Amino acid sequence: MTETIDLKRRYLMAGTVAATGLLASGVRVNAQEDNPLPDYVDWKDPEAMIVHSNNTLETRRDAFGTSILTPEDKLYIRNNVSPPDESILDDRDAWEVSIEGVAEPRTLTVGELKTLGIDTVTMVLQCSGNGRGYFEHAPSGTPWQVGAAGNVMWTGVPLRAVVDALGGPADGANFITGTGGETIPEGLDANDVMVERSVPIDVIDTVMLAWDLNGEPISLAHGGPLRMIVPGFTGVNNVKYVKTVSLTAEETQAAIQRTRYRLQPVGEEGGPEHPSVWQMNVKSFITSPLETASAGTVQVTGVAFGGINAVESVEVSVDGGATWQAAEFIGPDMGRYAWRTFALAADLPAGSHVITSRATDSEGNVQPEDVEPNEPGYNHNGWRAHGVEIMVS
Amino acid sequence: MTETIDLKRRYLMAGTVAATGLLASGVRVNAQEDNPLPDYVDWKDPEAMIVHSNNTLETRRDAFGTSILTPEDKLYIRNNVSPPDESILDDRDAWEVSIEGVAEPRTLTVGELKTLGIDTVTMVLQCSGNGRGYFEHAPSGTPWQVGAAGNVMWTGVPLRAVVDALGGPADGANFITGTGGETIPEGLDANDVMVERSVPIDVIDTVMLAWDLNGEPISLAHGGPLRMIVPGFTGVNNVKYVKTVSLTAEETQAAIQRTRYRLQPVGEEGGPEHPSVWQMNVKSFITSPLETASAGTVQVTGVAFGGINAVESVEVSVDGGATWQAAEFIGPDMGRYAWRTFALAADLPAGSHVITSRATDSEGNVQPEDVEPNEPGYNHNGWRAHGVEIMVS
């Protein structure tokens, strides 16, 4: 459980914070800080992770640090199906991906992909449900707070280079559909279980088939030996162990696309009539301080990103949103899809302060105070819920 | 020993490569690949490091990968004096640095520095002697090839913010002089041994007192708890365990400044009449392939940086410098002092190929074919010596 949550709980119990409206969701947080790391990710930094379950691990808010990039051993995990056997990493260059919906469809090995082109992109990888723990209607699913997100660097071949090498898209292609290499448990209908996601073909020039994460071969937990990367789209659209990439006329009929990861109103079932969870929105959150500080000048730091757009600016409030000051971005700008770290020198007298941040993207979209809830609890970017209350002494 | 060196030696022994002029220095390489990691850096990646000695560890050329940033466990080590006892890391925020040569000189703790400002910079950290192994006059000192360099991110307080908080520079300040916290062995003259370096005050707006390296507290080996960072200047100018920062009228009289790290002609002793090793120059080198490749299209990758300037462009030759093709930078531009990775898709038929690269900085400086030698073997950036010979089959 993060320090922030501890603090919120403490205040809730003392009954002093209800007026801020910040903390309604705190009571349903059930992160199990003391759960051990699952075997397949025993190389993760235990100090940095909150283990919700075998397939859901969150980065602690105080573990993001100042590196801009999130190290792989601190990066969150969210698997819809357990990973395949790790033997698929025995010969990474031999992994095969079938490219379909092009003029000359064929199967290519990773080794062959590596001759077709190379690029590197830095982007926020964020679970669709990051922030779910802040929704007041208590959606089912992991109650992520801020840590189902990280800023990582992928290296691979641009999908455009692969498609061009195979004669270009077939006629009538509207979607890029990626199929994951997870093993479907016996007795289950593949359509109900498999990870197959479709995204609009208009993003084809940014999609990558990646073999490296932060410069190292991608671990099994994060989709190695090959992952389909869709910058600016939520995590589920970045298909792990990708075994088929198809340019298709229609979206896949897999349940994970047809009924799940939809933005339906609270109380409804998801279906094709509801928007898919695709592009990410503008968001920011404070990473320090989170619990206490010494009175005087305090460097308030955090991260901000624009999702599908670049982030343009960010403001910080140290009075729960009553007033705002422009913060400065610090460190390198790693591109449109990356997050930026920011800092504001704030003068804080002794006492309790609610600190939060509000980002604006390059299209002028401003992080809202609150969000309209959706049944599954996706895309929460409300600045009020993301605030922290600290005690200055 | 790196694969490249192995290859060079093999060719030298076969007598087939002398005509390229590339390999004269290969014979004196004495890297000890099988030396174990010293205790104080037993957390380094042994697969990535060449251990020359306890205080000199080089990154293998094939270990740079595609991450742009060099992870701390793969970063080279060069200590002029052995590190202080690691107990100096017990309470990092309590480390004290004396700020002198300002209107109101005083001692500040790291904890106090953290309230004065925060910034992050990505920069090439490179030993003055990186590439020494390519000089034909066989300078004394570690025969580094390419791996006494890395691209890393520092977080700390801008020196300007510290100086401003103390009333600004005293009159007559011409240099920024940093003193390291190494323990001077008993019986030795401190001036002969201590790490105290002066750099021109005109870079004051880029100097940082840093506590984080790649987002984590700086290890003892790399200068924690506090290091003076001078972007664009060679490694020695970035003083570890910095305990005094003084704005001074004159350069320090310490031997490491007065007679060492000078660019004197071959055969001469160094002295104040010779230029100091300060700003880095434009440079690039190939990182893949280094030994073999399959005939056809090969993605040639490498890194390029401008040193004190930004890098503007880079060309690749696959015929030993006879012809050149423009390569593309890939991935994010992390700022003026950072290196960039580049790639060129080259069509290589079977046979032997000499691959090299040539960078140009923002001021129009081009990496030269060869360099004028200096006695200590500093600042080698000649593109011919940095080339590799690969066998394509």
Question: Between chains, do A333 and B338 touch, taking CB under 8 Å as contact?
Answer: no
pLDDT of B378 strictly over 90: yes
Give the minimum alpha-carbon distance from B365 to chain A in angstroms, rounded to a whole number.
24
Q: Does A215 touch chain B (CB under 8 A)?
A: yes
Kindly indicate the confidence band of residue B33, based on its pLDDT and cuts at 50, 70 and 90. low
Q: What is the pLDDT of residues A104-114, one digit of tens each?
A: 999 999 999 99
Taking CB atoms and an 8 Å cutoff, what residues of chain A touch B212?
65-67
DSSP label of A156: E
The whole-number average pLDDT for the span A164-182 is 97
Summary mean pLDDT of chain B: 92
Taking CB atoms and an 8 Å cutoff, what residues of chain A touch B333?
332
The residue whose two tokens read 């809202």 is A368
Distance, CA of A205 to CA of A159 (rounded, Å): 7
ipTM given for this complex:
0.87
CA-based nearest residue in chain A for residue B338: A332
Query: Residues near A180 by Cβ (< 8 Å), separated by ≥ 6?
Result: A81, A194, A195, A196, A239, A240, A241, A242, A243
Residues 42 through 71 of chain B touching chain A, CB cutoff 8 Å: 65-69, 71
Question: Between chains, do B122 and A331 touch, taking CB under 8 Å as contact?
Answer: yes
Question: Between chains, do A69 and B69 touch, taking CB under 8 Å as contact?
Answer: yes
Question: Between chains, do A67 and B153 touch, taking CB under 8 Å as contact?
Answer: yes
- Backbone φ and ψ for A253, nearest 5 degrees, come out as -90, 5
Question: Between chains, do B299 and A155 touch, taking CB under 8 Å as contact?
Answer: no
Taking CB atoms and an 8 Å cutoff, what residues of chain A touch B297?
115-116
What is residue B299's predicted lDDT score, i.e. its pLDDT? 97
What percent of chain B is predicted at pLDDT more than 70?
A: 92
Kindly indicate the confidence band of residue A34, based on its pLDDT and cuts at 50, 70 and 90. confident
pLDDT of B121 strictly over 70: yes
pLDDT of B10 strictly over 50: no
The whole-number average pLDDT for the span B164-185 is 96
Question: Between chains, do A67 and B333 touch, taking CB under 8 Å as contact?
Answer: no
Between A and B, how many CB-CB pairs are < 8 A? 107
Q: Does A108 touch chain B (CB under 8 A)?
A: no
The whole-number average pLDDT for the span A278-286 is 98
Measured in whole angstroms, how far is the alpha carbon of residue B367 from the centre of its chain?
A: 17
The whole-number average pLDDT for the span B97-105 is 98
Question: Between chains, do A331 and B155 touch, taking CB under 8 Å as contact?
Answer: yes
- Backbone φ and ψ for B13, nearest 5 degrees, come out as -65, -35
CA-based nearest residue in chain B for residue A153: B67
pLDDT of A45 strictly over 60: yes
Question: Between chains, do A71 and B332 touch, taking CB under 8 Å as contact?
Answer: no
CA-based nearest residue in chain B for residue A341: B120
Q: Does B116 touch chain A (CB under 8 A)?
A: yes
Option in B155, B294, B332 nearest A122 (CB): B332
Pair of tokens at residue A242: 């990708």
Taking CB atoms and an 8 Å cutoff, what residues of chain B touch A116?
297
The whole-number average pLDDT for the span A27-38 is 62
The whole-number average pLDDT for the span A157-184 is 97
Kindly indicate the confidence band of residue B148, based on its pLDDT and cuts at 50, 70 and 90. very high
Extract long-range pairs of A92-96: CB within 8 Å, 24+ residues apart.
A92/A211, A92/A217, A92/A224, A92/A225, A93/A225, A95/A225, A95/A226, A96/A243
Give the minimum alpha-carbon distance from B215 to chain A in angstroms, rounded to a whole number.
4
Cis preceding-peptide flag for A200 (omega within 30 of 0): no
Q: What is the pLDDT of residues A338-374, one digit of tens each?
A: 999 999 999 999 999 999 999 999 999 999 999 999 9
H helices of chain B, in order, are: 3-14, 110-116, 159-165, 190-193, 255-258
Q: What is the pLDDT of residues B297-318, one digit of tens each?
A: 999 999 999 999 999 999 999 9
- Backbone φ and ψ for B302, nearest 5 degrees, come out as -170, -170
Distance, CA of B361 to CA of B111 (rounded, Å): 38
Distance, CA of A361 to CA of A359 (rounded, Å): 7
Option in B119, B121, B299 nearest A114 (CB): B299
Q: Which of B334, B332, B333, B328 lies closest to B316 in space, CA to CA?
A: B328
pLDDT of B95 strictly over 60: yes
Q: Does B332 touch chain A (CB under 8 A)?
A: yes
Taking CB atoms and an 8 Å cutoff, what residues of chain B touch A215?
65-69, 71
Question: Between chains, do A215 and B299 touch, taking CB under 8 Å as contact?
Answer: no
Q: Read off the pTM.
A: 0.90
Cis preceding-peptide flag for B225 (omega within 30 of 0): yes
Spell B86-113 as b/e; 16+ CB within 10 A means b.
eebbeebeebebebbbbeeeeebbbebb
What percent of chain B is predicted at pLDDT more than 90?
A: 88
Option in B67, B212, B332 nearest A65 (CB): B212
Give the minimum alpha-carbon distance from B122 to chain A in angstroms, rounded to a whole number.
7
Residues 131 through 170 of chain A touching chain B, CB cutoff 8 Å: 153, 155
Option in A214, A296, A299 nearest B67 (CB): A214
CA-based nearest residue in chain B for residue A329: B119
Kindly indicate the confidence band of residue B341, based on its pLDDT and cuts at 50, 70 and 90. very high
Distance, CA of B327 to CA of B338 (rounded, Å): 18
pLDDT of B28 strictly over 80: no
Kindly indicate the confidence band of residue B185, based on its pLDDT and cuts at 50, 70 and 90. confident
Option in A121, A215, A334 nearest B65 (CB): A215
pLDDT of A68 strictly over 70: yes
Distance, CA of A58 to CA of A39 (rounded, Å): 16
Query: Residues near B3 by Cβ (< 8 Å), separated by ≥ 6?
Result: B61, B62, B290, B291
Taking CB atoms and an 8 Å cutoff, what residues of chain A touch B299?
114-115, 117-118
Q: Does A217 touch chain B (CB under 8 A)?
A: no
Option in B153, B216, B341 nearest A120 (CB): B341
What is residue A105's predicted lDDT score, i.e. its pLDDT? 98
CA-based nearest residue in chain B for residue A214: B67
**From the candidates B45, B66, B213, which should be mutated to test the interface with A, based on the most A CB atoms within 10 A?**
B66
The whole-number average pLDDT for the span B139-147 is 97
Question: Between chains, do B66 and A212 touch, taking CB under 8 Å as contact?
Answer: yes
Option in A66, A119, A212 nearest B120 (CB): A66
Taking CB atoms and an 8 Å cutoff, what residues of chain A touch B348?
none
What is residue B22's predicted lDDT score, i.e. its pLDDT? 36
What is residue B8's predicted lDDT score, i.e. its pLDDT? 36
Question: Between chains, do B153 and A118 touch, taking CB under 8 Å as contact?
Answer: no
Question: Between chains, do B215 and A71 touch, taking CB under 8 Å as contact?
Answer: yes
Question: Between chains, do B122 and A215 touch, taking CB under 8 Å as contact?
Answer: no
Give the minimum alpha-carbon distance from B24 to chain A in angstroms, rounded to a whole number.
32
DSSP label of A257: H
Q: What is the pLDDT of residues B207-254, one digit of tens each?
A: 999 999 999 999 999 999 999 999 999 999 999 999 999 999 999 999
What is residue A33's predicted lDDT score, i.e. its pLDDT? 54
